[in-house]
Amino acid sequence: MRQPASSREVVFIGVLALTVITWLLRGIGLLTFLPGFVLGILISLSIALIIVNGLIETR
């Protein structure tokens, strides 16, 4: 059986989902008022969470 998701996994999935939704809505023109750096920050945050989670899991 699968264990319940840890809080790190929930946060990562939430940030990743927010990034994808923002990217898609901006791409189809619904969030054109949103500056590009916001999307860049979300992508950077997703990558940082991957790295941090990987470092914690290898300990």
Q: Looking at the domain assignment, is residue 50 inside a domain?
A: yes
Q: Looking at the domain assignment, is residue 34 inside a domain?
A: yes
Q: Looking at the domain assignment, is residue 11 inside a domain?
A: yes
Q: Looking at the domain assignment, is residue 21 inside a domain?
A: yes
pLDDT in tens, 3-34: 666 888 888 889 999 999 999 999 999 988 88
Question: Per the structure, how many domains does the chain have?
Answer: 1
Q: Looking at the domain assignment, is residue 2 inside a domain?
A: no
Residue-range definition of the domain harbouring residue 41: 7-58
The pTM is what? 0.78
What does the alpha-carbon distance between residue 59 and residue 56 come to, in Å, rounded to a whole number?
6
Tally the C-alpha atoms within 13 A of residue 18's C-alpha that lie toward its C-beta: 15
pLDDT in tens, 26-57: 999 998 888 889 999 999 999 999 999 888 88
Query: So what's the pLDDT on residue 41?
Result: 93
Q: Looking at the domain assignment, is residue 23 inside a domain?
A: yes
Alpha-carbon torsion (24, 27, 32, 38), positive or negative: positive
* Structure confidence at residue 2 as a pLDDT band (50, 70, 90): low
